[in-house]
Amino acid sequence: MEFPEGTWKRLLSGEFGKDYYLKLGEFVDREYAEETVYPPRPLLFNAFAKCPFEETKVVIIGQDPYHGKGQANGLCFSVNEGVKFPPSLKNIFKEVESQTGNPVPLFGSLERWAAQGVLLLNAILTVREKQAGSHQKKGWEEFTDAVIRKLSEDRKGLVFILWGAYAQKKGSVIDRERHLVLESVHPSPLSAHRGFFGNKHFVKANEYLKSEGMSPVEW
C-alpha cells in the first residue's frame, strides 16, 4: 500500500514494518485485485493527503467507508460531488446550518473541511461493495489507533469529535488534558434526535481553536 509522502509517512513509518500492517497490505492488495472495493485505490489514503499532520487541528472519526458505487472518497462522512447525501451527512449539514447559519451545501464533498485542517478519519479505510463492515478486524483498526495516538502525543490543543459509541471507544487513547474531546450520539437518523442535534460541536470546536490561537473552521 503506497502511503503518500510527507510528515504522516515519516511519523507512521514504525507501523509499516509491523506484522499486522504487512498482513493488512496483502489482504487489501488481494481485495482490490479480486473484488470491487471502495474508496477507489488512488483515494485510499486521501484523508492524510488532504490534511497534513502539521496542519491538522480537528479530527472527526468515522467507522468504515460508504459501500455504494461512487460514494466513498477516502474522507469520512464525505461523498463525491453529484452523489446524493447519505442520511448521516444530511444530518451533519442540518446541524452545521442550525449552529452557524451556513446553508446546506450543494455537494457532499468535505474536501473544503480537510483543506482547513480537519482530518476526516475512518477507523477502517476500505470496504467491499455492498458489504458494510467487510474489512473490519483485518488490521485497519490498529493502524488508525496509531494515527490517533500519534496526534494525541505529538500535538497539543486539537479538537477530537467523536460521534457514537464506536468513535468514542476509538478515542480512549486521547490525552484529554492536552486536547478537547467532544462526544455525542451518532448523526444517523436512528440516533440523531437523541443528542446529535443541538450538540453545538461545530461552535465549541471553533471556540476552542480560537482559545488555542488557531483559526476557526469555516464549516
Dist CA 78 CA 86 (whole Å): 9
Dist CA 90 CA 77 (whole Å): 10
Q: DSSP secondary-structure letter at 62?
A: E
Which of 76, 85, 63 has its CA nearest to residue 120? 76
Active-site annotation, residues: 64
Which of 102, 74, 103, 76 has its CA nearest to residue 89? 76
Distance of CA 170 to the CA centre of its chain: 12
Residue 67 near residue 38 (C-beta atoms within 8 A):
yes
Q: In sequence order, what are the residues at sequence separation of 6 or more whose Cβ sits closer than 8 angstroms to the Cβ of residue 173?
A: 145, 148, 149, 152
